[in-house]
Amino acid sequence: MLQQTPVVRVLPVWQEWMHRWPTPAALAAEPSGEAVRAWGRLGYPRRALRLHAAATAMAERHGGDVPASVVDLQALPGVGVYTAAAVAAFAFGDRVAVVDTNVRRVHARAVSGVEHAAPALTRAESDLAAELLPEDPDVARVWNVAVMELGALVCTARGPRCDDCPVLTTCAWVAAGRPAYDGPPRHGQAWAGTDRQVRGRLLQVLRESDTPVPAARLEQVWDQEIQRERCLDGLVSDGLVEPLADGTYRLPGG
């Protein structure tokens, strides 16, 4: 849930999920459409399908438990390098580097002397994170979360609070005079008028209905027919929406 979504938005949804589905087996026992419904407005709803698929895999392969090893975690649907490392480190105490956007920014500034990390994670960044990781597993776990928090609260992207930074005197970026970023252009993600917005509105109608929704109701969501139909087709292809023989639509597995 935290992938590309801030904690403040995730927390209430996560709490509702944990109350309803305290174990992977509990989630796996429900239709995947219920996961999409409970996902609410978090965005990137394919993550809900992958989380349901991961829960199903855990129920089938691991006796309903979350696996502890990075290898087993990465074998689950929708679980990548970062999520596998975070679960292994924070839930099971494994000594593994956890590298998210905040960590990459701290390393870029404090160690590499540049304002921002590369647009995508590089092998050099992964190697640097592993090199910096303390040897003691308990210390490594604290180190991981400390660097993440440093990037989230102090070494922020737009307004770093350098005077409050505990590594100010050893920061390579500060020592170099805080040179401005000169890498590839950094673009924010647009929302208004995009397919993401249309897909979100279509899914919202389906989430709010306990019965299949007629096409005419979905047509009211967006007045640009070509874009609306493209987005609806995309939701069907992604497995997020199920078309029925009578021309209505519902969440999958209803």
pLDDT digits (tens, 9 = 90+) for 164-181: 999 999 999 999 999 988
Q: Report which of 86, 11, 78 is spatially closest to residue 42, judged by C-alpha positions.
A: 11
pLDDT digits (tens, 9 = 90+) for 55-77: 999 999 999 999 999 999 999 99
The pLDDT of residue 6: 84
Q: Which tokens hold the place of 59?
A: 């129920």
Looking from the CA of 224 toward its CB, the CA atoms found within 13 Å total 10
The pLDDT of residue 72: 97
Q: Do 254 and 239 form a contact (C-beta atoms < 8 A)?
A: no
Amino acid in position 135? E
CA distance linking residue 62 with residue 159, whole number of Å? 44
Give pTM, 2 decimals.
0.81
Mean pLDDT (the chain) is: 93
Strand partners, 243: 249
